[in-house]
Structure 1
Amino acid sequence: MQADWELVRAPPRPDLAGAVLGYTGYREHRAEPILRREVPVLVLPLIVNFAAPFMLSVAGGQSTAPQGFAAGLIDRPVLVSSTGLAACVQVDFTPAGAYGFFQLDQRDMAGRIVDLDDLGELRLLGPRLRECRSWADCFALLDRVISQRLARGRSLSPEVAGGLAWLTARRGRGRMRDLAAAAGWSERHLTRRFVSETGVGPKTIARILRFEHARELAGQQEPGGWAAIAQAAGYADQAHMTREFAALCGLPPTALARNDAGEHGILESA
């Protein structure tokens, strides 16, 4: 509690591994405000705050400060600010896990920050977590709650689940006609089902996966610079990658790499 910064991560129970990527407990104590840029990833978070709520601003969209919230897949940057005193627990869901856990048409969450108070019985999760005496207790409670909701929730259709695996294995590369053929559907029907079950179409998921791959390669400082990264990540050229970075995170590649502080996030001037 006296440390300036605390980050505790834990995996979910083994039987939840396909639905939950992990849990994070986080505390930060600073004298000045904190501002971070969250960029698109193939993760759907649920966050419960124990301190003052974060202010969240989706580029070109809503600004909100809920005490607890979930987010759908977002293909734009989100600015997250706090007073400097932050504490929260976070669950990172896979698209399959989010579909089963939230029990919503994912179109209702895509591109949005959703207050837990608007998610039925999930509004009770925050008070229960705040009663926990340790991060381990929080994570054990989340294991139980998630397991119970998944048991009565829905599963992705085999075609959408297979499509996600197809795109993930290729890091977002590949033609949509080939993906549709692998699913046995038309491209139009494939897109409709992806949107219903994940909130976005397969092209958006492919864009996010390519962006994640390019960021990963940039962190490894591969020889050849940004042109080589663009080629390896599946962009037509460096100019194409630069346009995609601007659309997805609001920064050119060099600025994103410069501001990326690892576990501390992508820091901005508050």
Structure 2
Amino acid sequence: MAETGRSFPPNITTDEPTVARIYDYGMGGKDNFAVDREAALSLAKIAPEMLDVARENRSFLYRAVRYLAEDMGIRQFIDMGSGMPTELNVHQVAQHFQPEARVVYVDIDPIVLAHGRAILADNANTTVLTADMARSDEILAQEELRDLIDFSEPVGVLYFSVLHCLPDEADPKGALWTMLDAVPSGSHVALSHLISDDVEAGDAFTAGMLALGPWGRVRRPAELRAFLEGLEPVEPGIVDVSEWRPDPDQPPLTPAPAPLQPYLGKASGGKAVWEMGGVLRKP
């Protein structure tokens, strides 16, 4: 995104990086600023595998939403911490397989609202809310969400690569379960989370993110599984997202920006930090 000559609403900061815009840059998007691009490069130097991991997560999003829409027949989705509209967006995938699917995007970054609503202006079955995903009760009370989501029917609740953005004191498990308690039996959650068994590597990436602003932390596999107790995993279970029903024929992603290209493929010798996730059914 070219900053020169552009004006933005006063609540959109252009001198501090945000997770949504860093991710947008890593996906080859243009809705980011110099500070976000610098942040992405600094993180790539700390954990080069993160570019691969982020893109694996986006591909997992496609497969998980396709499964929910095509195989499970789910026609309504709440995408928590959705980030910037980029490619393989939830509404595009869901509405490809269920043309009447309804999607509510939720993100705390006001630029997500600005760009999302512009892109979705002609899509009556999709909307964007600016809200804190840690405050699930407040999100559930919003009329705009209730206008699109029928809580008497199964819902696909989505937390792709976002729960690690919440620190422990924000109670990410509580935020997740407040949302899951509101949806009926037969609903599903699809999620992914940054994970590491290597404490040093996980702490290094966490420190790199915290240096950029408020964040959560990389967690251990057992911590994520504890979040999900009481749900029924869909095969193959909770795994590295690259291993969740891989499909070599799924739509490809746009190439990463040139400055990040040298970091692609750095995970070939094994990933110290990775995205673990899957799809689970609420009994």
The structure, 1 or 2, with the larger RCO (C-alpha pairs under 8 Å, 6+ apart) is: 2
TM-score if structure 1 supplies the norm length? Answer: 0.27
Larger Rg: 1
